[in-house]
Amino acid sequence: MSCLQPSMPNINALSIGSGATQGTVRPVGNFNAQNDAEVIRRAMKGAGTDEQAIIDIVCNRSNDQRQKIKLAFKTLYGKDLIKDLKSELSGNMEELIIALFMPTTYYDAWSVRKAMEGAGTQDRVLIEILCTRSNHEIQEIVRCYKNELGRDIEKDLKKDTSGHFKRLLISMSQGNRDETQSVDQQKARADAERLYRAGEGKLGTDESTFNMVLATRSFPQLRATLQEYSRMANRELINSIDREFSGDVRDGMHAIVQCVMNRPAFFAEKLYKAMKGLGTSDSTIIRVIVTRSEIDLVQIKQVFWEKYQKSLRTMVEHDTSGDYKRMLLSGSD
């Protein structure tokens, strides 16, 4: 999916703060869903599976085009493409293919549900999705969670999380952040003072003040508040959060502030941590690459290179193997 090119493009002309971002996957021209469905069907017929043929199609189509291929497959053959692929593939390759064929919103909703199923809760997945998406994306996730998965996201959050972390996630799940692009500097100064008095400026911490400001203010407004806070406290707000909070609520607030400052850097860090040291969190790699491939993966790769002095492609090559690796690297020069 042209995901991980070996050379890092120069994107200095693109302003992260202004929202000028670029995905690595774009809709292919001269698209024919029926032809693609036929190629995939032939790749699965007979002895063995032609994984490369599947990779060539799936990784070079947009999510919207993949949905059309899925529909064409069912129309042509009366069979569910996902079920057929599951019967032919396994492991990480199966997980990646299934993720690519899920509609974008459904994949987010499914990931949130999966994070809360069974024993234990994958809090970092909840943070990654609920603390980084736009109002519209959150509202669509909540709607999909109810209509497609038959569950109430707020009830599940209340059941599977607790304390200030629960309150932060419930605030984020409303999808009700102010999205005004203009900045009120006086409000930024007032919010910075409010945050300082709620944390560094008192014994103990008023968590609700942090929740209110971080969950409701627009990203441009929060950016101005971060600048005012730094001038006032002689410390970055993200460092104050580290001093005042711990555990999941700290990580959630950390994610919001990171996304305000540089959203691609947040995802670059997620990918790096998924691969550094012993073991690899393949689900994290799959989720981040799939969900960001049509949004800002170009910027994520650039930040990855700048922060870690190695390319994302190099690390993926080192930490993955076989068809799974080829699929992640498909389309690279």
pTM: 0.90
pLDDT at 4: 52
pLDDT at 268: 97
Comparing 33-89 with 104-174, is the CATH topology the same? yes
pLDDT at 107 over 70: yes
CATH number given to 104-174: 1.10.220.10
pLDDT at 49: 80
- The mean pLDDT of 126-139, rounded to a whole number, is 97
pLDDT at 19: 53
Backbone angles phi, psi at 332, to 5 degrees: -75, 150
Burial environment of residue 50 by CB neighbours within 10 A (0 to 12, 13 to 18, 19 or more): middle
CATH of 185-261, one of 3.40.1010.20, 3.30.750.80, 3.40.50.2300, 1.10.220.10: 1.10.220.10
Out of 3-17, 79-93, 177-191, 265-279, which region has the weakest mean confidence (pLDDT)?
3-17
**pLDDT grade, residue 202 (50/70/90)?**
confident
pLDDT at 78 over 60: yes
pLDDT at 10 over 70: no
Maximum mean pLDDT: which of 1-5, 13-17, 121-125, 264-268: 264-268
User: Hey, where are the domains in the chain?
Assistant: 33-89, 104-174, 185-261, 263-332
pLDDT at 205 over 90: no
- The mean pLDDT of 214-239, rounded to a whole number, is 96
The pLDDT > 70 percentage for the chain reads: 92
In 3D space, the residue among 291, 320, 330 whose CA is nearest the CA of residue 54 turns out to be 330
pLDDT at 2: 44
Joined tokens for residue 319: 């930490």
Instruction: Report CA-CA distances (Å) from 276 to 37, 312, 315, 316.
Output: 37, 11, 8, 10
CATH number given to 33-89: 1.10.220.10
**pLDDT grade, residue 99 (50/70/90)?**
very high
Q: What is the DSSP string of 133-168?
A: S-HHHHHHHHHHHHHTT---HHHHHHHH--HHHHHH
Q: In CATH, which superfamily holds the domain spanning 263-332?
A: Annexin (1.10.220.10)
**pLDDT grade, residue 51 (50/70/90)?**
confident
The more confident residue out of 21 and 181 is 181
pLDDT mean across residues, the chain: 90
Burial environment of residue 125 by CB neighbours within 10 A (0 to 12, 13 to 18, 19 or more): middle
DSSP three-state, residue 183: coil
